[in-house]
DNA sequence: TTTT
DNA sequence: TTTT
């Protein structure tokens, strides 16, 4: 089968401080949201902004990096892939869906406002080289390499 | 504010023949889905495939092209942007969400199986060259000629 | 023919203040370079950085925006497409090549160091909506729309 | 420093059968070119096509896959990163440059014409799931299993 | 050097 | 609901 491609590229601002959970396996998971906005002309011909919110999920080392460096207001570049989970709502019995972006790579472009600016200690984590070992095995993983932690230079 | 980026790139197969609606304004809208799949190792170390389904929406001329050339089974490259609509479920009163990709560009890589293959009359519509003059100003980065804001259902 | 895709996405720092020329047609052109860097392990197992320089060219209104807002040191997100020009070197008679990225969209993430930071008046220009009229007609264009300048909200 | 992004996405046709070399280390390298084309209006208002040729390089397992499945005429999706090598021309003494795309991922969309079509044995190699374990740490974001730094010719 |  |  020709391989498929499922890629998302976002550049926007983080809505709240990320929430960190730890899976039963011990694997950390970070959840946060990114806002992107676009301008459009309304019916009166006036420019309006519309904001789109994106649900982001990161696993493993990438979750730890996000926990440590990403804050409410951070400007962030993120790459990932789309995934949609569904379940039956208990009350209505209807199937409900939640689409998330499983983060594969980020570049932190600023810290929180007062700390921030591109010259502040912006941390970044690229999906390159040994970066892949940030992810654990599992269905949401991009990778499962044999790279060990001391291969990571940060 | 620094401009944001909201970009999706998909390459996969179309699940069903697209559904075409016409907005009150007369503008066509195409809805279809694309499947992407990825392999991952399960906990037993066996390779599994997971399929992800993506809800696609196209407006204007791009909707017409999709109507005319995209079929169930078509292999398609598509670019777009993420958008999430929400409403209150009538029964449960809970907010429900639906995430879609508003298509900005496609490249048709095959037709339906029996017609298909890369040598069949693959049509493609690129967001460059002549493609651009299809677009008008409007709420949608990717919307096409003559769509006015009230044509857009969100 | 199935349409092709030629897309570049860069996020890096601008090496020098952009150079602005004006074509005989009156069309402005901006040339600048973006550095990206990556880490890799050398043969001794030490982490090294390698910098890649990208030649960027922008036309029309986008060139003017770059002239006005992009400086040496600016952190910039840019989308574009690859193009390679060639000519015969006068001395050797050999064909020489120069690959450039024709910019279609930018997001300015910082100004020059001292002015900069993500909170400074970062200007951004997105390749969306009426943004296309930034480009002139010509072989290097992404688009040639009938949008007039007063469609542009900035 | 905030991490940079250097990403290329191409979808086009392969110009010739790939050339395969083997590095002193035993690692395979594949070189090939992809053509993309775009339409533009010339000064007379007529539509013209321009073809852009992209120099592609792949290492390791990805090179083997390309050797085995990619042929002249293949339609290919490829992701990679830009890299430019330079050297001094022996005759003119001038510095000359060659820009290449180091391939990180491909999806083969067709074989050669007569074998081909989307239904032919399209192989694909995705940079996800099982694809990742091909990669080792190393200078190349996209390099594959077991490539050591001195396998990389720049 | 590709492709339609 | 696709595809191999």
pLDDT tens for A92-118 read 888 999 999 999 999 999 854 434 333
Query: What pLDDT shows up at residue C7?
Result: 98
B43 to chain C, minimum CA–CA distance in Å? 31
- The mean-pLDDT minimum among B16-30, B80-94, B122-136, D15-29 falls in B122-136
**Residue range A105-133: average pLDDT?**
50
A5 touches strand F (CB under 7 A): no
Which among A14, C80, C131, A37 is positioned nearest to B3, based on CA atoms? A37
Candidate from B5, B124, B129 with C-beta closest to C1: B124
Query: What pLDDT shows up at residue B1?
Result: 52
Q: D: neighbours with 3+ CB pairs under 8 Å?
A: A, B, C
The chain C residue lying nearest A76, using CA atoms, is C109
CA–CA distance, B34 with A16 (Å, rounded to integer) = 31
Q: How is residue C145 written in tokens?
A: 């729309």
Q: Is the pLDDT of residue B133 over 50?
A: no
Chain A residues 15-34 with CB within 8 Å of chain C: none
Position with higher pLDDT, D103 vs A125: D103
CA–CA distance, D78 with D148 (Å, rounded to integer) = 23
- The mean-pLDDT minimum among B105-109, B118-122, C31-35, C85-89 falls in B118-122
Residue D92, C-beta contacts closer than 8 angstroms, at least 6 positions apart? C89, C91, C92, C94
Candidate from A116, A126, A153 with C-beta closest to C118: A116
Number of neighbouring beta carbons within 10 Å of residue C28: 20
* Distance, Å, D53 CA → E2 C1': 9
As to burial, measured by CB atoms within 10 angstroms (0-12 exposed, 13-18 middle, 19+ buried), residue B92 is middle
D113 touches strand E (CB under 7 A): yes
CA–CA distance, D128 with C89 (Å, rounded to integer) = 43
Q: What is the DSSP string of D19-73?
A: EEEE-TTS-EEEEEEEEEEEEEE-TTS-EEEEEEEEEEEEEHHHHHHHHHH--TT
The chain A residue lying nearest C130, using CA atoms, is A40
For chain C, give every domain's residue range.
8-38+48-139
Q: Is the pLDDT of residue A147 over 90?
A: no
Q: What is the CA radius of gyration of chain C?
A: 17
Query: What pLDDT shows up at residue D1?
Result: 53
Query: What pLDDT shows up at residue C147?
Result: 32
- The mean-pLDDT minimum among A113-117, B4-8, C47-51, C85-89 falls in A113-117
Q: Name the band, by pLDDT with cuts 50, 70 and 90, for residue B81.
A: very high
What's the fold here for domain A8-38+48-139? OB fold (Dihydrolipoamide Acetyltransferase, E2P) (2.40.50)
* Distance, Å, A98 CA → F4 C1': 28
* Distance, Å, D74 CA → E1 C1': 12
Chain A residues 81-140 with CB within 8 Å of chain B: 81-84, 89, 91-92, 94, 96-99, 137-139
Pair A123, A32: CB distance under 8 Å: no
Contact B9 A5 (CB under 8 A): yes
> pTM (2 decimals)?
0.79
Pair B135, B142: CB distance under 8 Å: yes
Residues of chain D neighbouring A107 (CB-CB closer than 8 A): 2-5
Ranges A39-53, B68-82, D79-93, most confident: B68-82
Pair D36, D10: CB distance under 8 Å: yes
Beta strand pairing status for A124-125 and B47-59? unpaired
The chain A residue lying nearest C111, using CA atoms, is A118
Which residue minimizes Cα–C1' distance to F4?
A1
C interface test, pick of A118, A121, A151 with most C CB neighbours within 10 Å? A118
CA–CA distance, C141 with C63 (Å, rounded to integer) = 13
Q: What is the DSSP string of A3-40?
A: PPEEEEEEEEEE-SPPEEEE-TTS-EEEEEEEEEEEEE
Q: Is the pLDDT of residue A140 over 60?
A: no
Write out chain C in H/E/C secondary structure: CCCCEEEEEEEEEECCCCEEEECCCCCEEEEEEEEEEEEEECCCCCEEEEEEEEEEEEEHHHHHHHHHHCCCCCEEEEEEEEEEEEEECCCCCCEEEEEEEEEEEEEECCCCCCCCCCCCCCCEECCCHHHHHHCCCCCCCCCCCCCCHHHCCC
Position with higher pLDDT, D120 vs B36: B36
Q: What is the pLDDT along chain D (154 residues), one digit of tens a residue?
A: 589 999 999 999 999 999 999 999 999 999 999 999 998 888 788 999 999 999 999 999 999 999 999 999 999 999 999 999 999 988 888 899 999 999 999 999 985 443 433 333 334 443 333 332 333 333 334 443 333 333 333 3
The set of strand E positions with any atom below 7 Å of a protein CB reads 1-4
């Amino acid at each position: 089968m020709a391989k498929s491609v499922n890629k998302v590229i976002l550049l926007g601002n983080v809505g709240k401080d990320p929430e960190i959970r730890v899976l039963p396996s011990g694997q950390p998971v970070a959840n946060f949201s990114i806002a992107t906005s676009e301008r459009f002309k309304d019916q009166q011909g006036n420019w309006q902004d519309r904001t789109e919110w994106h649900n982001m999920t990161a696993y493993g080392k990438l979750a730890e990096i996000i926990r440590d460096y990403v804050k409410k207001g951070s400007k962030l570049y993120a790459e990932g892939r789309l995934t949609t989970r569904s379940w039956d709502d208990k009350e209505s019995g209807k199937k409900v869906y939640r689409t998330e972006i499983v983060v594969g790579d980020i570049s932190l472009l600023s810290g929180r406002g007062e700390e921030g600016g591109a010259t502040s200690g912006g941390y970044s984590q690229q999906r390159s080289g040994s970066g892949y070992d940030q992810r654990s095995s599992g269905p949401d993983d991009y990778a499962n390499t044999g790279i060990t932690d001391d291969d990571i230079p940060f």
